[in-house]
Chain A
């Protein structure tokens, strides 16, 4: 649809842009394409230029991807030498050039309007839509903007035909999707699956299951904008719509696997910390709202949660989602909303019982010596960085809870498993 709109525009000057500002923590799908096959992107952008009638393309790529930048530059040079880029490509009257624009690392610049604002030389901040980029985009001209992965698919689709592409995947989600899988999983790394593959297949067949025989708890897809999918939904086929129904999203393809040792409140806090950090500051719902949500989460995980905090989180999340200016803000509450949806009991345990069921939130955690098991060897005391463990031969050791910083060293070092966490 974007292509069609841009093609239909009567404007003389049009642009083709590639979003290579991959910013999700731990995701590197685009990077692998840019480093491995930069020509696929160049070829697709040229095709796009031909399709919509543009003669200039920009690739907005993170400066933190030096190898990608280098290989893209080389590829552009090579394409020029072969006459695949530049004036009168293949002796036709079609001319197309591509330039690189390096992003300074702001996550928000992955949002399409912020990306264009940044290319224009301004502070990378989103602007309201409509007008949509295909109507009024870069420098106010019709602009076609797609992600690296989308472009990389174009040449093969054209070569093999749309039917071939549609034959992969499901009715509503065609083709394949690349994920960067990480977290509590045996096989980490990139994987490409046909749409419709279930989460179970991804985690157990491809990922090789959860290490140390632990129990699978949830998977986070879509990075900081996505949500957590609980173990109970592990047989859901991965499609655009199904993920959204579950309160998550496909996003760029981050996939983080969590096991029973992960605290879901802590996970929500982690992602929110990221969005608070990366909010551009233009609209109050995102600028102040996510900060307030984070403060509440810090309170809850810090053992100071108050009655009503969970409800406040819900009100904030709902309204930030509804009223933030751009996609970053509108999706920022997703990790909180999805964990609230599937793991509300964990939030309540933190707030009401001041307990972290997964034993992650340090403030609510005590390390205790099991006097029956303690052999009084003193290894724990010698390794304690704050000297808060005392005892002697014949007298079981004891941890001073006031001084303890809950680093977990004693538990790790005890050769007799005499120290345990009391969450």
Chain B
């Protein structure tokens, strides 16, 4: 690697030539404050918090975008630098809704942290405050422009990473606002509700629709039988909300906390993930054998589904008709489980704890109520669950060991890995390989579909067939992959798409890590590593070997793809226009 010599705060150091001043400073253990910067996603030098003095330059320079060069002399702490950062921060604060006490991001706000770190104790330049309406029409995402600092991380995420581009900068100068076009609501534009914008927002300008009150109400209603299910990705991230290291596995603590909150039963969505594999695997084999529409594309990710309906309706027939796992679980709870336990299904209240904001939208889809009741009543994100645990005064780190409830608490490792990109593919392969060969296969780790590469391709030798598979995560990658398929440049049997980069582990409902953490640590890898560890520790690692799933087919569904299974576990999709012709 080509290196250059620079002097930073009187220290001579050698750094790679492609570094920015910010990266070089990090190397020298010099912290430079940032706000708009998010590595690889938003490197636009807009917020001016990271300004430094560069010898020979006329004005202060943004460290996050300024490339180093041989002999560069930098001062990161001169009086001019300190004063400029402070004034800029005071200006940002002067036009920020500073209701920190009641802000969802209090204690996890990058702006608050900057104010503390730069020792800003008064705002000298107060003036006009923006007072704009809050957009809370979307079932998933709430946008509060009065808190927005216009860092544009959400814009870059939505446009450059997700390729969705429903939010952008509108107006200009002091009136600049980040919003959908024509001041429309997020609910009226082709937003996929993936919530990635929330996870990159440094402040409380974007947040999930908080549904915790609905759950508290249900829990205190003696007529309701309130059960909860948790998605695989939640258990490898929830701990972060309580100060635990990234990648901590907190399955037991999570179950114990849910019990303390008063849920009658705590189920594992992974069980339904296994059920999904049985249905989807069967669908795949049938489509391949009977010349059905290929590639079959997974349908677990509601952000992806909405994206497909808006932007690639021509692929709707490729989508697996399987409901997403938690919806399947809800339908099973309100049918099979209700019958078995003798509970009136109208009294069963299903709460899903998901790493996802799009699932809030999904749960409201009218077609997802096969029993006559909504499959799932309320979806909470990982963050909302943490809020409930805090509100209940539960010490999350000190809890007894607990397990999921039977009869549907049993899950396989295949269900667990649904939480990471490539996981659904791998889980399906574990089952399909055995179904096709009729033999037990020991080699079950399909590492070629794991990892954070945007699009992964694999050819897997199965009995009588070389299965061509592709995995895309992040909607921008999905776009690339679909365009390739559309252009006839690639052919696959089976495609897995997850809306969020990294899959559910880094979903839009997961704990938020600030830029100075996620710029340098790949959350996708850390949390996925925990998922794969969890898988390795499971006694059963193939969906079709899950006794709970076997029991469900024996006692209720008969076999995968049966009439009853179609009634309860499958769904259909609707092409959606991009922008409605009339403003709602």
B125 contacts A316, C-beta separation under 8 Å? yes
Residue A315 is within 8 A (CB to CB) of chain B in the complex: yes
B87 contacts A106, C-beta separation under 8 Å? no
Residue B171 is within 8 A (CB to CB) of chain A in the complex: yes
Q: How far is it, in angstroms, between the C-alpha of A279 and the C-alpha of B46 when the chains are bound? A: 13
Residue B67 is within 8 A (CB to CB) of chain A in the complex: yes
| Interface residues of B, count at CB 8 A | 38
Report which of B45, B80, B91 forms a contact with A289, defined as CB distance below 8 A. Answer: B91
B169 contacts A281, C-beta separation under 8 Å? yes
A315 contacts B124, C-beta separation under 8 Å? yes
Residue A71 is within 8 A (CB to CB) of chain B in the complex: no
Report which of B46, B67, B175 forms a contact with A282, defined as CB distance below 8 A. Answer: B46
- Identify which of A253-261, A317-325, A347-355, A363-371 touches chain B: A317-325
B59 contacts A319, C-beta separation under 8 Å? no
Q: What does the 1/0 interface line of A276-294 toward B look like (CB < 8 Å)?
A: 1111111111011111100
Q: How many residue pairs bridge A and B at CB < 8 Å?
A: 109
Residue B48 is within 8 A (CB to CB) of chain A in the complex: yes
Residue B22 is within 8 A (CB to CB) of chain A in the complex: no
Query: Shortest beta-carbon distance, B110 to chain A, in Å?
Result: 14
A123 contacts B169, C-beta separation under 8 Å? yes
Q: How far is it, in angstroms, between the C-alpha of A75 and the C-alpha of B128 when the chains are bound? A: 49
Q: How far is it, in angstroms, between the C-alpha of A73 and the C-alpha of B48 when the chains are bound? A: 41
B94 contacts A292, C-beta separation under 8 Å? yes
B176 contacts A287, C-beta separation under 8 Å? yes
Q: How far is it, in angstroms, between the C-alpha of A283 and the C-alpha of B84 when the chains are bound? A: 13
Query: Shortest beta-carbon distance, B540 to chain A, in Å?
Result: 52
A279 contacts B92, C-beta separation under 8 Å? no
B172 contacts A284, C-beta separation under 8 Å? no
Residue B7 is within 8 A (CB to CB) of chain A in the complex: no
B174 contacts A322, C-beta separation under 8 Å? no
A130 contacts B174, C-beta separation under 8 Å? no
B128 contacts A319, C-beta separation under 8 Å? no
Q: What does the 1/0 interface line of B146-165 toward A look like (CB < 8 Å)?
A: 00011000000000000000
- When C-beta atoms are compared, the residue in chain B nearest to A279 turns out to be B173
Report which of B47, B65, B168, B174 forms a contact with A291, defined as CB distance below 8 A. Answer: B174
A319 contacts B172, C-beta separation under 8 Å? no
A283-342 with Cβ < 8 A to chain B = 283-285, 287-292, 295, 312, 315-316, 319, 321-325, 330
Query: Shortest beta-carbon distance, A332 to chain B, in Å?
Result: 11
B125 contacts A312, C-beta separation under 8 Å? yes
Tell me whether A281 and B174 are in contact in the complex, defined as CB-CB below 8 angstroms, given that A123-B169, A128-B65, A288-B95 are known contacts.
yes
Query: Shortest beta-carbon distance, B51 to chain A, in Å?
Result: 5
Residue B62 is within 8 A (CB to CB) of chain A in the complex: yes
| Interface residues of A, count at CB 8 A | 33
B38-91 with Cβ < 8 A to chain A = 44-48, 51, 58-62, 65-67, 80, 83-85, 87-88, 91
B173 contacts A325, C-beta separation under 8 Å? no
Residue A174 is within 8 A (CB to CB) of chain B in the complex: no
Q: For A283, what are the chain B residues with a Cβ–Cβ distance below 8 Å?
A: 46-48
Q: How far is it, in angstroms, between the C-alpha of A130 and the C-alpha of B92 when the chains are bound? A: 25
B172 contacts A128, C-beta separation under 8 Å? no
Query: Shortest beta-carbon distance, A118 to chain B, in Å?
Result: 12
- When C-beta atoms are compared, the residue in chain A nearest to B169 turns out to be A123
Residue A406 is within 8 A (CB to CB) of chain B in the complex: no
A128 contacts B44, C-beta separation under 8 Å? yes
Tell me whether A284 and B174 are in contact in the complex, defined as CB-CB below 8 angstroms, given that A289-B91, A315-B124, A321-B59 are known contacts.
no
B88 contacts A279, C-beta separation under 8 Å? no
B173 contacts A277, C-beta separation under 8 Å? yes
Q: For A315, what are the chain B residues with a Cβ–Cβ distance below 8 Å?
A: 83, 87, 124
B128 contacts A128, C-beta separation under 8 Å? no
Q: How far is it, in angstroms, between the C-alpha of A283 and the C-alpha of B50 when the chains are bound? A: 12
Residue A127 is within 8 A (CB to CB) of chain B in the complex: yes
Report which of B48, B92, B125, B174 forms a contact with A323, defined as CB distance below 8 A. Answer: B48
A69-88 with Cβ < 8 A to chain B = none
- When C-beta atoms are compared, the residue in chain A nearest to B53 turns out to be A322
Q: For B464, what are the chain A residues with a Cβ–Cβ distance below 8 Å?
A: none
B172 contacts A316, C-beta separation under 8 Å? no
Q: How far is it, in angstroms, between the C-alpha of A130 and the C-alpha of B95 when the chains are bound? A: 30
Q: How far is it, in angstroms, between the C-alpha of A130 and the C-alpha of B61 when the chains are bound? A: 10
B313-345 with Cβ < 8 A to chain A = none
B65 contacts A319, C-beta separation under 8 Å? no
Q: How far is it, in angstroms, between the C-alpha of A285 and the C-alpha of B51 when the chains are bound? A: 12
Q: Is the interface of A mostly helix, strand, loop or mixed?
A: helix
Query: Shortest beta-carbon distance, B60 to chain A, in Å?
Result: 5
Q: For B124, what are the chain A residues with a Cβ–Cβ distance below 8 Å?
A: 312, 315
Q: How far is it, in angstroms, between the C-alpha of A278 and the C-alpha of B173 when the chains are bound? A: 6
Query: Shortest beta-carbon distance, B541 to chain A, in Å?
Result: 48
Residue B222 is within 8 A (CB to CB) of chain A in the complex: no
Tell me whether A323 and B176 are in contact in the complex, defined as CB-CB below 8 angstroms, given that A281-B169, A283-B46 are known contacts.
no
Q: What does the 1/0 interface line of B135-154 toward A look like (CB < 8 Å)?
A: 00000000000000110000
B44 contacts A322, C-beta separation under 8 Å? no
Tell me whether A128 and B176 are in contact in the complex, defined as CB-CB below 8 angstroms, given that A283-B46, A323-B51, A324-B48 are known contacts.
no
B62 contacts A281, C-beta separation under 8 Å? no
Q: For A130, what are the chain B residues with a Cβ–Cβ distance below 8 Å?
A: 66-67
A279 contacts B84, C-beta separation under 8 Å? no
B78-137 with Cβ < 8 A to chain A = 80, 83-85, 87-88, 91-92, 94-95, 124-125, 127-128
Report which of A127, A280, A284 forms a contact with B47, defined as CB distance below 8 A. Answer: A284
Q: For B150, what are the chain A residues with a Cβ–Cβ distance below 8 Å?
A: 281-282, 284, 287
A319 contacts B87, C-beta separation under 8 Å? yes
Q: How far is it, in angstroms, between the C-alpha of A324 and the C-alpha of B48 when the chains are bound? A: 7
A239-287 with Cβ < 8 A to chain B = 276-285, 287
Q: For A312, what are the chain B residues with a Cβ–Cβ distance below 8 Å?
A: 124-125
Q: For B173, what are the chain A residues with a Cβ–Cβ distance below 8 Å?
A: 276-281, 287, 291
Report which of A281, A284, A321, A322 forms a contact with B91, defined as CB distance below 8 A. Answer: A284
Q: For A325, what are the chain B residues with a Cβ–Cβ distance below 8 Å?
A: 45-46, 48, 62
Q: For A127, what are the chain B residues with a Cβ–Cβ distance below 8 Å?
A: 44-45
Q: For B65, what are the chain A residues with a Cβ–Cβ distance below 8 Å?
A: 128
Q: For A289, what are the chain B residues with a Cβ–Cβ distance below 8 Å?
A: 87-88, 91, 125
Q: How far is it, in angstroms, between the C-alpha of A123 and the C-alpha of B169 when the chains are bound? A: 9
- When C-beta atoms are compared, the residue in chain A nearest to B95 turns out to be A288
Q: For A284, what are the chain B residues with a Cβ–Cβ distance below 8 Å?
A: 47-48, 88, 91-92, 149-150
B80 contacts A292, C-beta separation under 8 Å? no
A319 contacts B127, C-beta separation under 8 Å? no
Q: For B172, what are the chain A residues with a Cβ–Cβ distance below 8 Å?
A: 106, 279-281
A323 contacts B88, C-beta separation under 8 Å? yes
Query: Shortest beta-carbon distance, B124 to chain A, in Å?
Result: 6
A365-405 with Cβ < 8 A to chain B = none
Q: For A330, what are the chain B residues with a Cβ–Cβ distance below 8 Å?
A: 58-59
Q: For A316, what are the chain B residues with a Cβ–Cβ distance below 8 Å?
A: 87, 125
A288 contacts B174, C-beta separation under 8 Å? yes
Report which of B59, B92, B125, B171 forms a contact with A322, defined as CB distance below 8 A. Answer: B59
B94 contacts A288, C-beta separation under 8 Å? yes
Query: Shortest beta-carbon distance, A309 to chain B, in Å?
Result: 11
- When C-beta atoms are compared, the residue in chain A nearest to B64 turns out to be A128
Query: Shortest beta-carbon distance, B88 to chain A, in Å?
Result: 5
Q: For B84, what are the chain A residues with a Cβ–Cβ distance below 8 Å?
A: 285, 319, 322-323
Query: Shortest beta-carbon distance, B370 to chain A, in Å?
Result: 46
| 15 interchain pairs, CB-CB under 8 A | A128-B61, A277-B173, A282-B150, A284-B47, A288-B91, A288-B94, A288-B95, A288-B174, A289-B87, A289-B125, A291-B127, A292-B94, A295-B128, A319-B84, A325-B46
User: Which residues of A line the B interface, CB within 8 A?
Assistant: 106, 123, 127-128, 130-131, 276-285, 287-292, 295, 312, 315-316, 319, 321-325, 330
> 6 tightest A-B contacts by CB?
A281-B176, A128-B45, A279-B173, A319-B87, A288-B91, A323-B84
Given contacts A128-B61, A330-B59, list 13 more A-B pairs with CB under 8 A.
A128-B66, A281-B172, A282-B176, A284-B149, A284-B150, A288-B125, A289-B87, A289-B125, A291-B173, A292-B91, A295-B127, A323-B60, A323-B85
